[in-house]
Amino acid sequence: MVVMTRWLNPDEQRTWRAYLTASRALMDTLDRELQRDAGMPHAYYEILVRLSEAPGRQLRMSDLAEAAGSSRSRLSHAVARLESAGWVRREDCPTDRRGQIAVLTDDGFATLAAAAPGHVEGVRRHLFDALSPAQVDQLRRISETLAERLTGS
Amino acid sequence: MVVMTRWLNPDEQRTWRAYLTASRALMDTLDRELQRDAGMPHAYYEILVRLSEAPGRQLRMSDLAEAAGSSRSRLSHAVARLESAGWVRREDCPTDRRGQIAVLTDDGFATLAAAAPGHVEGVRRHLFDALSPAQVDQLRRISETLAERLTGS
DNA sequence: CGTCAATTGTTGAACGCTCAACTAAACGGC
DNA sequence: GCCGTTTAGTTGAGCGTTCAACAATTGACG
């Protein structure tokens, strides 16, 4: 049996296109700024942020992957790069011999601290300064709904 | 003089993290579905869509780049791939000898037509089904504001 | 007209991500 | 305790994007 496609109506179409344009432009802009000012892509910045917030500035690879919304493979490659940049180091997990622990180095923390103000300023300028407080709230609710549905958590 | 960083307040922080998680998960999911079902990433799908909507199913490379929110370089590489897949062909521009025109082939149109229902279904399932009509409207306004500010158009 | 600047599009290298395949260790049931 | 199944993490190949450099053409302006 043929199932009819539920096409997007004009409002949805317009919303979807605007969303695509906006989110792509936003992430491209922030990525470029971060690359220029801190020498790392946004994905790597986020890894450093998550490590910096963890107790002891360290996390199991799996936990870090989940926190950063990354696949294990992606994280493996990323941490390899971050390690060779001297921002992260790997340690063996004492309780699970399969495990690896990613530890933020002092150098990594300093780099993050240096990059953070500029990046936050970018997020503010490109996102929050453009929205009313009510819109920020709307965006939060929408995003939380979508995140929950998509990540199943 | 030192300029104080305007850090994100807790609400903004939460909004930003939820936004990051949601938009990353959404695009990752749609990208994976499109790759699985149509053998192309979302960026390529969008190029084909823009071509299919243009008069004569063709566009100058620059115009296509702008329509697809892509850099010239990216589009050049992408069209090279689409051409070798037989979905797009290049023609010389008659009025500007620097110009190239990307033309959607019948094969490309057929591939797009075959991919569209599944992709639209995905957009609906992962995005619109999760939101109320009011939220769709909110997301449209927010996105249009951001898109305008970021792309300056 | 001639020249310098801007625009169009391509190219190659470096980088990051995805996917599938793989090793090693832990778990679960008997 | 043993054996099949999960789980943790890595690896390499292939693909897509970015960036800087480049060639070719057009435009602007004196």
Q: Which residues of A touch B142 (CB under 8 A)?
A: 22, 131, 135, 138-139
Q: A143 and chain B: CB distance < 8 Å anywhere?
A: yes
A153 has a pLDDT exceeding 70 = no
Question: How high is the pLDDT of residue B49?
Answer: 98
Based on the structure, what is the number of domains in chain A? 1
B17 has a pLDDT exceeding 90 = yes
Amino acid identity at B7? W
Amino acid identity at B86? G
Residues A101 and A92: beta-carbon distance below 8 Å = yes
Question: How high is the pLDDT of residue A87?
Answer: 98
A8 has a pLDDT exceeding 80 = yes
Asked whether residue B71 is assigned to any structural domain, the reply reads yes
The domain that contains B58 carries what CATH number? 1.10.10.10
Give, for B129, the enclosing helix (H) or strand (E): none
Mean pLDDT value across residues A13-17: 97
Quick check: helix, strand or coil at residue B59? strand
Question: How high is the pLDDT of residue B153?
Answer: 62
Q: Which residues of A touch B143 (CB under 8 A)?
A: 15, 18-19, 21-23
A146 has a pLDDT exceeding 80 = yes
Say what percent of chain A tops pLDDT 90.
Answer: 94
Subset of residues 57-86 in chain B with CB less than 7 angstroms from any atom in strand D: 70-71, 73-74, 77-78, 81
The DSSP result for A92-131, as a single string, is E-SS-TT-EEEEE-HHHHHHHHHHHHHHHHHHHHHTGGGS
User: Of A125, A126, A144, A112, nearest to A42 (Cα)?
Assistant: A112
Residues B126 and B25: beta-carbon distance below 8 Å = no
Mean pLDDT value across residues A80-102: 97
Asked whether residue A7 is assigned to any structural domain, the reply reads no
Asked whether residue A1 is assigned to any structural domain, the reply reads no
Say what percent of chain B tops pLDDT 90.
Answer: 94
**What range defines the domain where residue A100 resides?**
23-151
Helix, strand, coil % over all residues of chain A, rounded to 5: 70, 10, 20
Question: How high is the pLDDT of residue B96?
Answer: 96
Asked whether residue A123 is assigned to any structural domain, the reply reads yes
Mean pLDDT value across residues A132-139: 98
Asked whether residue B2 is assigned to any structural domain, the reply reads no
Q: Which residues pair with B88 in a beta bridge?
A: B104
DSSP B69: T
Residues A46 and A116: beta-carbon distance below 8 Å = no
Quick check: helix, strand or coil at residue B82? helix
Mean pLDDT value across residues A63-90: 98
Asked whether residue B19 is assigned to any structural domain, the reply reads no
Asked whether residue A10 is assigned to any structural domain, the reply reads no
Interval B42-94: pLDDT, tens = 999 999 999 999 999 999 999 999 999 999 999 999 999 999 999 999 999 99
What is the pTM assigned to this prediction?
0.94
φ/ψ of B7, rounded to 5, equals: -60, 160
Asked whether residue B13 is assigned to any structural domain, the reply reads no
B16 has a pLDDT exceeding 70 = yes
Q: Cα(B70)–Cα(B81) distance, rounded to whole angstroms?
A: 15
**Mean of per-residue pLDDT scores for chain B:** 96
Helices (H), B68-130: 72-84, 106-126
Q: Edge to edge, what strands does the sheet with A88-92 contain? A: A58-60, A100-104, A88-92
Place of tokens 């294990």: A72
Which residue ranges have CB below 7 A from strand C? A 40-41, 43-44, 70-71, 73-74, 77-78, 81, 96-98; B 28, 32, 35, 60-62, 65, 72-73, 75-77, 79-80, 90, 93, 96, 98-101
Interval B92-124: pLDDT, tens = 999 999 999 999 999 999 999 999 999 999 999
